[in-house]
């Protein structure tokens, strides 16, 4: 084979380098144009979304006014706790919640009245059904809040052992508890935003000057999870008696996992009892029809032919 001459290699390399530089310039220009288009689209979307957000805020203000009129501007402590545990931390959340309930109650009354007007039903029955429609819609927000509350509780209880394990690993490696709490809150944000936000809020409370145990107790009150109260009590005893925090966290995480497995076994054992009613109501009659049906039909035909 003949060797490639250097007189040919140099022009080829020059040609390739010029093409590479030109291609990079073109790619950078197209990327800049794409970025400019995306920014313009974002600005247009933001400008188009402004009237909708204003309408939404106006509707929220209307709901807040209705709720303040219905509750006279005062919300009960139980309502505050329930909304906070469900994740609604705004100061006007109770008023908006009460306003939604009142609006739904009025919609229920009006809707049932419109439905029952053409029907020939007695007036007391109509009044009863109208109030039943209003009451049913009135309690729909309660069901939504309870569902949201249970969902948040289950998520925190499901991911809390993993968070405690991460906390124990950070403390065992020599990191302070406050810094470890920050690291775990940042890491749990990808897995459980509810638990991560609760931990970040308690961390913010610590930075404002509150004691760590008090902040954790407040976190347990805000979330309604009993395991966090137990964790705060364990940390109090650890600081009082001078025991190892890492060992305490490890034991607490294993205890939580055992409790979770016991709860799963208990629910599995209860499932057999819960399945009795649908089996008796739905499955057992179908089995009887399949087994006894042909024999009953044969007997009936024999009796009719005789």
202-219 pLDDT tens trace: 888 888 887 777 888 888
Q: How far is Cα 182 from Cα 192, in angstroms, rounded to an integer?
A: 15
d(CA 161, CA 250): 9
Report in angstroms the alpha-carbon separations of 155 from 64, 80, 182, 188, 210.
30, 21, 20, 12, 26
pTM of this structure? 0.64
Q: What is the pLDDT of residues 153-165, one digit of tens each?
A: 888 888 888 888 8
Q: Which pLDDT score, from 0 to 100, does residue 51 have?
A: 47
94 three-class SS: helix
Q: How far is CA 267 from CA 157, 193, 224, in A?
A: 16, 27, 21
pLDDT band at 54, cuts 50/70/90?
very low
> Which ranges in the chain are annotated with CATH 1.20.81?
154-272
| pLDDT tens sequence across 153-198 | 888 888 888 888 888 888 888 888 788 888 888 888 888 888 888 8
Contact at 8 Å (CB) between 249 and 167? Answer: yes
For residue range 233-277, list pLDDT tens digits in order. 887 788 777 778 888 888 888 888 888 788 888 888 888 888 888
**Topology (CATH level 3) of domain 154-272:** Receptor-associated Protein (1.20.81)
Q: Is the pLDDT of residue 38 over 70?
A: no
pLDDT at residue 86 in the model: 83
Per-residue pLDDT band for 55 (boundaries 50, 70, 90) equals: very low
Give the highest mean pLDDT range of 139-148, 174-183, 282-291: 139-148
Which residue, 232, 219, 115, is CA-closest to 177? 232
């Amino acid at each position: 084979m003949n060797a490639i001459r250097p007189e040919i290699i140099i022009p080829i390399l020059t040609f390739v380098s010029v093409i590479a530089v030109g291609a990079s310039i073109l790619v950078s220009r197209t990327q800049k144009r794409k970025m400019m288009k995306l920014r313009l689209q974002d600005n247009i979307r933001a400008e188009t979304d402004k009237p909708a957000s204003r309408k939404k805020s106006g509707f929220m203000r209307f709901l807040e006014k209705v709720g303040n009129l219905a509750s006279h501007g005062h919300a009960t402590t139980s309502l505050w706790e329930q909304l906070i545990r469900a994740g609604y931390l705004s100061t006007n959340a109770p008023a908006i919640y009460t306003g939604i309930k009142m609006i739904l109650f009025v919609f229920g009354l009006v809707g049932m009245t419109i439905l029952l007007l053409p029907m020939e039903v007695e007036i007391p029955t109509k009044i009863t059904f109208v109030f039943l429609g209003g009451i049913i819609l009135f309690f729909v927000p309660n069901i939504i809040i309870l569902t949201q509350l249970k969902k948040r509780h289950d998520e925190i209880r499901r991911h809390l052992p993993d968070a405690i394990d991460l906390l124990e690993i950070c403390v065992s490696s020599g990191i302070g508890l406050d810094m470890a709490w920050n690291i775990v809150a940042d890491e749990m944000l990808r897995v459980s935003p509810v638990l991560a936000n609760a931990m970040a809020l308690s961390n913010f409370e610590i930075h404002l000057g509150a004691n760590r145990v008090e902040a954790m107790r407040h976190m347990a009150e805000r979330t309604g999870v009993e395991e966090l109260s137990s964790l705060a009590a364990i940390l109090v005893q650890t600081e009082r008696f001078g025991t190892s925090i890492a060992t305490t966290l490890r034991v607490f995480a294993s205890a939580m996992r055992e409790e979770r497995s016991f709860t799963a076994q208990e629910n599995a054992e209860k499932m057999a009892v819960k399945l009795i009613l649908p089996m008796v109501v739905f499955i057992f009659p179908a089995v009887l029809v399949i087994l006894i049906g042909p024999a009953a039909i044969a007997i009936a035909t024999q009796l009719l032919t005789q």
